[in-house]
């Protein structure tokens, strides 16, 4: 993509201001150290509902949600600005479940009624929505063992989903279940519906999640999201966006881990000099900086493309998520190594980054899966 055909990769003045404000908010209000607190008390929520509400009041949750649902009607690009900052402190708030999965599924496939019922609540920070798609027995979201059997006035869903992000906390769950012929369909299910049970799970990265079991859960015909039997294609489109949004989060996390490491390299002295004066570490730090600079270009482009060139989204989603996964994990490993002994202690924040890095690496496709899809998209 040459200079004059590349999408615009710059922030306008409002976006720069948004970035700055979000940066300050996150660094001040939502330090990564919170993750240990939530973990140690086995917090039933795992994040701060107040902070989520505050972000809603600042308009950040509704950035991309259309005016008609009380959002600001801006772009996915704007949302990514906030997501990037959320990554700096590894915020466990429900960005992925609600803004990247639930809201995108509704925006892309929801009926007017479904959107109306939920999107305004999402923008207001009052409603949480997640998508339940992971199963124990399958690593391919196109193949589901959860089934939705046609009933007199709708469907009955039975099955189990694992690691549903915020699954025990959300108001509504969009679940993939096999309908006639085995192809998945997405259904919008009220979390309080009879037959839905959740069990909280505890992951290394502190992202709230749950096992969600569906036992003959009755849903009406109008609970289908998108088209019957076409859930896989819709999910793929949702994942493409979610992957880009998550990549923005990972970009922020990588940047902060490097920033913390650079600060440590300048401050920590051994052999009577700052360890950052050792050339071997300098060159490795430059390698990290370089990877992050590439990642930044790619994330900005992918976010822009979601708003402006829908046909290019799959290509850029692969690119952004593959690079984000490799870069974040690499940065996180090097950050620990350069911190030395304290880097592996639980009390220092830098070790939290590798846990999020591993979790995000495994979410919405590993790099090799994205490279395979990229190759297919390029015809080889």
Contact code string over 268-307 relative to a second copy, x by CB under 8 A: ----------xxx-xx------------------------
- Which DSSP string do the residues of 301-319 spell out, in sequence order? HHHHHHHH-GGGHHHHHHH
Do residues 246 and 359 make contact, with C-beta atoms less than 8 angstroms apart?
no
Judged by CB under 8 A, which of 127, 241, 249, 296 binds other proteins? 296
Judged by CB under 8 A, which of 180, 282, 309, 310 binds other proteins? 282
Do residues 94 and 165 make contact, with C-beta atoms less than 8 angstroms apart?
yes
Instruction: Tell me whether residue 187 or residue 353 sits nearer to other proteins (CB atom).
Output: 353
Residues 6+ apart with CB under 8 A from 77: 15, 300, 303, 304, 306, 307
Shortest gap between Cβ of 44 and other proteins (angstroms)?
A: 12
Instruction: Tell me whether residue 28 or residue 283 sits nearer to a second copy (CB atom).
Output: 283
Stretch that binds other proteins, among 222-230, 232-240, 248-256, 263-271 (CB under 8 A): 263-271
Shortest gap between Cβ of 126 and other proteins (angstroms)?
A: 28
Judged by CB under 8 A, which of 134, 171, 255, 260 binds other proteins? 134
Burial of 14 (0-12, 13-18, 19+ CB in 10 A): exposed
Stretch that binds other proteins, among 24-32, 100-108, 150-158, 353-361 (CB under 8 A): 353-361
Shortest gap between Cβ of 136 and other proteins (angstroms)?
A: 8
Instruction: Tell me whether residue 120 or residue 262 sits nearer to other proteins (CB atom).
Output: 262
How many C-beta atoms lie closer than 10 Å to residue 112's C-beta? Answer: 8
Do residues 357 and 207 make contact, with C-beta atoms less than 8 angstroms apart?
no
Instruction: Tell me whether residue 183 or residue 359 sits nearer to other proteins (CB atom).
Output: 359
């Amino acid at each position: 993509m040459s200079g004059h055909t590349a999408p615009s990769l710059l922030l306008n003045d409002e976006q720069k201001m948004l970035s700055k404000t979000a940066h300050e908010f996150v660094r001040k209000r939502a330090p990564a150290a919170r993750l240990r607190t939530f973990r140690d008390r086995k917090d039933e929520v795992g994040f701060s509902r107040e902070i989520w509400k505050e972000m809603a009041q600042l308009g950040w949750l509704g950035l991309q949600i259309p005016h008609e649902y009380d959002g600001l009607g801006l772009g996915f690009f704007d949302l990514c600005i906030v997501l990037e900052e959320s990554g700096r402190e590894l915020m466990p708030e429900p960005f992925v479940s609600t803004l990247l999965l639930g809201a995108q599924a509704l925006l892309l496939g929801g009926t007017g009624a479904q959107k109306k019922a939920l999107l305004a609540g999402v923008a207001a920070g009052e409603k949480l929505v997640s998508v339940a798609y992971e199963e124990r027995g399958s690593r391919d979201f196109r193949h589901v063992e959860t089934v939705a059997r046609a009933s007199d006035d709708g469907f009955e869903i039975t099955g189990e989903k694992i690691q549903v992000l915020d699954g025990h906390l959300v108001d509504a769950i969009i679940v993939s279940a096999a309908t006639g012929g085995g192809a998945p369909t997405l259904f919008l299910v009220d979390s309080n519906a009879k037959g839905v049970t959740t069990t909280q799970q505890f992951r290394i990265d502190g992202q709230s999640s749950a096992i969600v079991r569906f036992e003959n859960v009755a849903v009406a015909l109008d609970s289908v999201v998108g088209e019957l039997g076409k859930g896989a294609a819709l999910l793929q489109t949702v994942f493409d966006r979610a992957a880009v949004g998550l990549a923005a989060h990972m970009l922020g996390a990588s940047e902060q881990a490097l920033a913390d490491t650079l600060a440590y390299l300048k401050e920590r002295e051994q052999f009577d000099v700052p360890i950052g004066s050792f050339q071997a570490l300098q060159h490795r730090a430059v390698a990290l900086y370089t990877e992050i600079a590439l990642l930044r270009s790619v994330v900005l482009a992918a976010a822009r493309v979601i708003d402006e060139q829908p046909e290019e989204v799959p290509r850029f989603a692969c690119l952004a998520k593959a690079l984000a996964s490799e870069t974040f994990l690499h940065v996180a490993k090097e950050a620990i190594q350069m911190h030395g002994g304290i880097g592996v202690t639980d009390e220092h924040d830098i070790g939290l980054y590798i846990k999020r890095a591993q979790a995000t690496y495994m979410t919405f496709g590993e790099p090799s899966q994205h490279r395979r899809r990229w190759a297919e998209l390029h015809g080889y």
